[in-house]
Every structure is written in structure tokens, then in C-alpha cells.
Amino acid sequence: MKRTLEWQIAVVAAIRPETAEVKTLTLALPNWTPHRPGQHYDVRLTADDGYAAQRSYSIASEPERTGEIDVTVERIADGEVSPFLLDTVVVGDRFEVRGPIGGYFVWDESVGGPLLLVAGGSGVVPLMAMLRHRAAAHVSAPARLLYSARTYEQIIYGPELDMLAGQNGLKVAYTLTRAQPPGWKGYARRIDDAMLAEVTKPLGPNLVAYVCGPTALVEAAADGLERIGLPADRIRTERFGPSGT
């Protein structure tokens, strides 16, 4: 029987800046249930006059961490909810959440096989839950993260990704599309077929791919993966926003 998701009151237990425009909120949940990496929660904010706004936020943390989840929120400059979560919410605040939600864009150790993750901007958030779970569960099948950001400063989770890269067969490749620091050795262009081919080659033909980010990036990367020979049923996608940025 399908479980009906109840709203519950999350308490903000910690707030950590990730970049200038991105923060991670740790939410303590009275009715925490284990999630599958890739799933999200709905957040509902209700004003004193009863006006409510609801948005989805991917779970960034691994299911091995019990009782709480991390969500990582990027500022959409003219947005209604994300600036509130970044600028107004403080530790101890409470708001409604429900989840975990989603059964398609999920990966855990039971999926197995070589893993390709492709992220654009804050699309790295659900992929981070997969990588944290992969590390916690000691999964050793090879994995690659291809992560597109505009600048080096906009890379989310950079130090942790550097730490995870090289462990259990994970390699991380960055592409910086707008500006690169002096001496940058990574990619410096939008994701294209040649880049996808290079990153996926060591994984062999049996990989499963998860692509998440702005709609334009997701479509370009998923189409590119098909063009380089990956069957469509091995590519799972999640789109975060309406814009092509």
C-alpha cells in the first residue's frame, strides 16, 4: 500500500555556508525515515496571514545519517523561497516538510554497476547524497562525477569532493564554463559529446547515468550521452528549474 506522506515540523539544527550563494541547512526530523539517495523533501512555508509557498529540495545527506537530513539551497535572486531560506532562517527555526519523495531518480548500492553522475550547479545536491552513501556503504564499482559550474568559487562541496575523489574508484571532473583560476587543468567549456565520451570511457558500456541541473544542461547532457551510445533507459534525469541558465 502506498504510504501517505504526512507533513512534519523540521527544526533547523545547523546552517553551513557552501558558497557565496549556497547554504546547507541541517533539518532535525521527528519522523525521520530512511531515504534513497536522489529523493527530495517538500518544504512548506506559511506566513501569519496563511499564505503558503511550497518548494522541493533534494536530500544532500546519506541515509546512514539518522534523525536528520541536509538540504542545500541555492539563491534564485528574484525567488520567493530560496532567499528566505538563505537570509532569514536561523538555527532553531521550524517549518513544515514532507518526504522522502521520488522513486525514479534514485541510486543506492542495490543498483550496482559503474556509475556516471553529471551535475550542473545545484544539481550536484542529490548526486552528493549518492556519493556520500556510496562512501558510507563502501561501494567499490567505479564512479565518475562530471560537474559543471560557472566559476571555481561556485563549486559546491569542493573540499569534500576532493576528499572523496580517489576513494573507492571515484573520480571527479570539473568544467568551469565562465572563468577559470590561473593554471586550471580541468575542462573550461559547456558539456559536450567529446567531454562525455572522455569521462565515461573508463566506466565501460554497462554504466548507469544520473544527470541533474538546469533544464538546458540536463537536456544537452542526456542527448549527448545517447549520441555517444548510451541507451536511453540507462540515463535518469532530474530538472531543477525552468530556466536555461
Ligand X SMILES: Cc1cc2nc3c(=O)[nH]c(=O)nc-3n(C[C@H](O)[C@H](O)[C@H](O)COP(=O)(O)OP(=O)(O)OC[C@H]3O[C@@H](n4cnc5c(N)ncnc54)[C@H](O)[C@@H]3O)c2cc1C
List residues near ligand X by CB under 6 A. Answer: 40, 55-58, 72-74, 76, 78-82, 122, 125, 214, 238, 240-243, 245
Q: For residues 128 and 230, which CB has a smaller minimum distance to ligand X in the complex? A: 128
Which secondary structure element, helix H or strand E, spans residue 117, and what is its range?
A: strand 115-120
Q: For residues 55 and 65, which CB has a smaller minimum distance to ligand X in the complex? A: 55
Q: Decide if 209 contacts 230 (C-beta within 8 A).
A: yes
Q: For residues 53 and 188, which CB has a smaller minimum distance to ligand X in the complex? A: 53
CB of 15 to ligand X, least distance (A): 14
CB of 128 to ligand X, least distance (A): 9
- Joined together, the cell numbers standing for residue 141 give 564499482
Q: Which residues of 157-168 are buried (b: 16+ CB within 10 A; e: fewer)?
A: bbeebeebeeee
CB of 16 to ligand X, least distance (A): 14
Q: For residues 92 and 104, which CB has a smaller minimum distance to ligand X in the complex? A: 104
Compute φ and ψ for 148, nearest 5 degrees.
-100, 125
Q: Decide if 103 contacts 95 (C-beta within 8 A).
A: no
CB of 153 to ligand X, least distance (A): 17
Q: Decide if 142 contacts 172 (C-beta within 8 A).
A: no
